[in-house]
Structure 1
Amino acid sequence: MTKPINSRDIILGILKEIIQEEEYSHIALRNTLDKYQYLEKQERAFITRVTEGTLEEMIKIDYILNQFSKVKVKKMKPFICNLLRISVYQILYMDSVPDSAACNEAVKIAAKRGFVNLKGFVNGVLRNIIRNRENIIFPDEKAEPDDYLSIMYSMPKWIVEKWLKTYGLEKTKIMLQSFFHEKGTVIRCNTKRISIEELEKELEKEGIVVKPAHYLNYALVISEFDTIGSIKAFQKGFFYVQDISSMLVAEVADPQKNNVIIDVCAAPGGKSLHLAEKLDGSGKVEARDLTPYKVGLIQENIEKSQLSNIIALQQDACTLDLDSVEQADILIADLPCSGLGVMNQKTDIKYKMTPEKEKQLVNLQRKILETVYQYVKKGGTLVYSTCTIDEEENIQNVKWLMERYPFQLESIDAYLPEELRSDTTKEGYLQLLPGIHQADGFFIAKLKRID
């Protein structure tokens, strides 16, 4: 007989991977759900909700625990700390879970995992929170806006301070709120294989809710499905999971017939495939990345797409490839970044990133740019993009590049829907902000190589 599976045990295993072992949340969650594919959809949804919700609200949950526990979060045993976190999440955020069930299950798990002597502690802290949930004291918004925003939206204080300085209180608040909104999955129709109308019908046949996406007429937002991999239209290569912000890179690049395009950090290949589609069977796209694993991801997507004008190659973007010098009509440099624009997809980014790590990323971005700019033909195009909203990684890098190398910004208004045009797009770059725009936080700049 197989032992019954306890969902909360599974959640604790995922959190241990993410928090203690520093695995990425989307990978830890996906791998676990793949392992337990046989579980009921409702149980899998519970595992996803509690894992993602606990991570989303972790700073706030820890703040509450510190109010009601004599032992502070930093001093707790990691297992007990995570157990309390998931239980507080269920108590405060899930009406479907009775308070008593969340508390009793936590006590049982503590005993089962060998923490019999801490059963009373777990029980006492959780019952104290249940009794006093109306009396939780939060920082004063007017007196301590950075502390208030950090705790209420579970965002590290250094990020809040930076955004307040760059974007002001109102925009910062909208961005922080946006990370808690369910936004569905954005997909790009492979228009070489199927029309957008036919794709909608295919998806609706499988019971999937389909809505048009903002800004681009070949993009859709889908919801109410189990896993992407289980969707027949995905298995057939009829669509690609890609945010609008990422699709705009190919629009801004504006490839022409027979262009040679190099994408230097391409995995998993969404932008490269989009560009290859736009070339309509002509030209060549080289989708490059650093490791065999990443190149494998690109290759898998190329095969699914059935495009013949794109190849996947392993190449370190920091190492000059002499054969590529001045060969590219278009160079795509979508570079490794802090990822602070996509925190609603990868919640744990905010805990893993630090000011020091961000500085290291800026240095890496510049190291890559000073290598790969050489691949652009004279008169050719370099599109620089990141999925973050911090100026050091974005416009400051563009200015750094133009000060040293023969590039100038070029207006991107012609390639954008009217509602995205602004003074900066006229100049040559776009900063998308989560919650302000209907897309992920993302930066795109278009530069022309001058003689």
Structure 2
Amino acid sequence: MKAPSPARAVAVRVLERVASDQAFADLALDVELTRRVLSDRDVALATELVYGTLRWQRYLDWVLAPHARRKLDALDARPLAALRMTAYQLVFLDRVPAFAAVNDAVSLAHGRKTTGAPEFVNAVLRSFARRGTREREPAPPADPVDALAVRCSFPTWLAARWIGRYGHDEAEALMRAMNERPPVTLRANTLKRDRDALADRLRIEEQIGSRPTSYAPEGLVAEHGGRPDAWRAFIEGHFAVQDEA
């Protein structure tokens, strides 16, 4: 079997550590990325898989459960991480071929205690991949608050609090906005160069496009993440990673 992509291998390892060791995702991801030499593209994918899977974990467990003959929480952390990560790709990432994602999940799914984990992961994901987007969602919970919470991948208690405070529609909009993929926003160090010059440098040196921020006059939004701390312009102090807010 072909070796899994390094991005998926890193993501599964980080998700496994978060689940089994209660590791902080950002620190665990940084450790794994420093252990390997990955392209910017693979760094960006690994980062997306880790944070996307964690943001949507409750929703992913909900849509995966009907395809599994055993409870998902009975699995070891590693095969469960492979399941969730791959479901995230199939649901939320358009440009990821399903067969490649599933094959990598099977390769990465060996658990320490769960016997037959790769076969189980393969069966669940192939069943899941055959379903269309709408068909993947099972019947929602009877409680409307619980139904909204699981669809937005938030704890029910928090959904209930926000519905009580803001109303159903605003609470839903808030939860969905908080689970959107955050942009990589850079603040140019204008003591060294303005943001237009920084944008040109990133395009030439790192092959990374960018666009000006909407409000901050010194800000740029990078087209993809990678590892900004590894870019020469960052090392030389020409920008900081900082939200526009």
**TM-score normalized by structure 1?**
0.46
Q: Secondary structure of the equivalent of 2:240?
A: strand
Contact (CA 8 Å) 1:110, 1:116: kept in 2 or not? no
Alignment-derived partner of residue 162 in structure 1: 161
CA distance in 2, matches of 1:183, 1:112: 32
Cα distance change of structure 1 residues 31 and 75 upon mapping to structure 2, 3 Å threshold: same
Q: How much does 1:10 deviate? A: 2.8
Alignment-derived partner of residue 409 in structure 1: none
Alignment-derived partner of residue 242 in structure 2: 242
Q: Secondary structure of the equivalent of 2:222?
A: strand
Cα distance change of structure 1 residues 5 and 34 upon mapping to structure 2, 3 Å threshold: farther
Contact (CA 8 Å) 2:44, 2:224: kept in 1 or not? no
Q: Secondary structure of the equivalent of 1:240?
A: strand
Alignment-derived partner of residue 319 in structure 1: none
Contact (CA 8 Å) 1:189, 1:219: kept in 2 or not? yes
Alignment-derived partner of residue 214 in structure 1: 214
Contact (CA 8 Å) 2:199, 2:209: kept in 1 or not? no
Q: How much does 1:58 deviate? A: 0.9
Deviations 1:167-215 (A, max 9, x none): 2223222222223434422233333343444444444443432322233
Greater share of residues in strand: 1
Q: Secondary structure of the equivalent of 1:162?
A: helix
Q: Secondary structure of the equivalent of 2:167?
A: helix
Contact (CA 8 Å) 1:111, 1:119: kept in 2 or not? yes
Cα distance change of structure 1 residues 201 and 20 upon mapping to structure 2, 3 Å threshold: same
Deviations 1:1-31 (A, max 9, x none): xxx6753433221112222212221222222
Whether 1:55 aligns to 2:59 is no
> For the pair shown, which has the larger CA radius of gyration, 1 or 2?
1
The one of the two structures with greater contact order (alpha-carbon pairs below 8 A, sep at least 6) is: 2
Alignment-derived partner of residue 412 in structure 1: none
Aligned-partner residue type, residue 186 of structure 2: I
CA distance in 1, matches of 2:10, 2:238: 34
Q: Secondary structure of the equivalent of 1:130?
A: helix
Alignment-derived partner of residue 29 in structure 2: 29
Deviations 1:74-121 (A, max 9, x none): 333323322222232233334444444444443444458685534443
Identical-pair percentage: 27
Q: Secondary structure of the equivalent of 1:208?
A: coil
Contact (CA 8 Å) 1:62, 1:73: kept in 2 or not? yes
Gaps of 5+ in 2: none
Alignment-derived partner of residue 15 in structure 1: 15
Alignment-derived partner of residue 178 in structure 1: 177
Cα distance change of structure 1 residues 232 and 152 upon mapping to structure 2, 3 Å threshold: same
RMSD over aligned Cα atoms = 3.1
Aligned-partner residue type, residue 242 of structure 1: Q
Cα distance change of structure 1 residues 215 and 167 upon mapping to structure 2, 3 Å threshold: farther
CA distance in 2, matches of 1:199, 1:94: 29
Q: Secondary structure of the equivalent of 1:215?
A: coil
Whether 1:139 aligns to 2:140 is yes
Q: How much does 1:233 deviate? A: 2.7
